[in-house]
Each structure stands twice: as C-alpha cells, then as structure tokens.
Amino acid sequence: MRLDRFLSGQTALSRRELTALIRSGAVTVNGTVIRRPETPVQPETDAVTLRGSPVTYSTSHWFLLHKPEGVITAARDPKQETVLDLLRPDDRLPKLAPVGRLDKDTSGLLLITDDGVTAHRMISPKHHVAKYYLARLRDPFRAEYVTLFRSGIRLREGDSEEQCQPAECCAISHDLAVLALHEGKYHQVRRMFAAVGNHVENLLRVQVGMLRLPPELPEKCYLPIFNKDVESALKNSDISDVCAFCDAHYSSYWIKERK
C-alpha cells in the first residue's frame, strides 16, 4: 500500500495535505524519514509516525457518541449541526457515517463508523439487533402496553397503516419505560406510545445490542470503541437487565426537566 494512501485512511487530512507533510519530512517509516508519497508500506507490520506521533493501522473505525437533543443524525448539512460536527477535526475520517439514526429530539447512544457492512447488520431488521430506549411519559405506564407492543402496534402512514414488529417494553417507574425495538421507523417510539394514548416527553437511547451508553459520558462527548465492543453491539440483552441498568444510572436523567 502506498504511504499516502495508508495515511489518508487513518487520518482526517486530505491527500494534498499529506503529500506536503510527507515531502517536508514529517513522516517516518520504521524510524526512517520518508519523503516520497508513493513509498510502499506494510500496514500491519511497519511502524509509521506523523509529526512524531504513531499512526495505528485499522481497517475500520468506530466511535460511540452521546448524542444530545437538537443535533441531526447526518454526515453533513449546510444549515444544521450534525453528529459528525461533534467530532474533533482529527477524528473526521473519510467515509464516516452514523449507524442508523436518532431523531433530532432524541438523545443517547449513537455509533459512527466507516464499516458499512457491519453497520448494515446492526440496522437491518432481518438481523434482529435490538435498540433499547428509555422514555419519559406524560401519563403513567399501563400494564396493557406490554401485550399491545408485543403483538405489534399498527401506525398510521398517510392514508394507510403499517404494522410494527413485536416490541418489548417494561416500566421502571410510573412514568419511565424501557422499550426494545428491532427496526427503526420514523419517530417510531413516540408514534407507538401515541397509538396507545400516551405521549413521550423525552427519549434516550441507552443501548444497542449489549453495548451500553456509559453513564459517565456527557452529552456531545464520544469515545473510540473496538472489536469487542462492536461484537457486543450485535448481541441482544434481556430487557430486564436493561431496566436494571436504567434504574441504576438513568432513572433521574431528566430531573432538571421536571423542576
């Protein structure tokens, strides 16, 4: 692999910027300064530095973001702040995109990656990867929701109706509920609760598969994740475990909203 191509896949710098840096002597390979962008390197074995910092080779990159409300789930937008705008410039690598979507008025766990194949597995309904949400409701949670959601809520879509896949839900307090979805229709959680006569005041995605939103991670902040974390996001949890996690860490998440 060419040196400039290697660096372009591991940094957010343009090919022109990298070419200038290489020719200026800012890049070493195995301790030797290299000034030719076309120099071949072995990504898995060669030690490459840029401006004195090691460049670690990875075939894909993953970030876990605590998305705040008010930011849109898109790679770019000319008028509104996007989730990729929350990344540091050095982390805005080529081909990064959000995995699925979180609505503008929904906060919580959002994955960002340049691994399109694995991302598709996470969001495709046929792979049944669950996404878990914590909803704060206007009205008390009713026991009948469990059966109604499990049977598949029907949602209005224009002049017709669409059938939701069976979903699990449970309450952790009178107005806080956890919901597990295996699909991602437009505003689905809010529309499902509206279909049973309730209203979602706030919505937080707390988990994808078995990968949880770290309680200590503030809104607008993110962290890199690696193979073990990505694999856990493809395996589902028991909803009772998710409820216990939410009760322990997120049951007072919107306490300021209530005051």
Output DSSP code: residue 7: H
250 and 156 assigned to the same domain = yes
Q: 152 and 40 in one domain?
A: no
The answer to whether 63 and 224 are in contact (CB under 8 A) is: yes
**CATH assignment of the domain containing 95:** 3.30.2350.10
Could you tell me the residue range of the domain that residue 21 belongs to?
3-54
Residue 8's pLDDT is what?
Answer: 85
Q: What's the rounded Cα separation, in Å, for the pair 122 and 215?
A: 22
pLDDT per residue over 42-81, tens digit each? 988 999 999 999 998 888 899 999 999 999 999 999 999 9
Positions annotated as catalytic residues are: 103
The whole-model pTM stands at: 0.84
Total structural domains within the chain: 2
Eight-state DSSP code of residue 139: S
Q: How many of the other CB atoms lie within 10 Å of CB of 126?
A: 8
pLDDT reported for residue 169: 96
Q: Are residues 13 and 120 in the same domain?
A: no
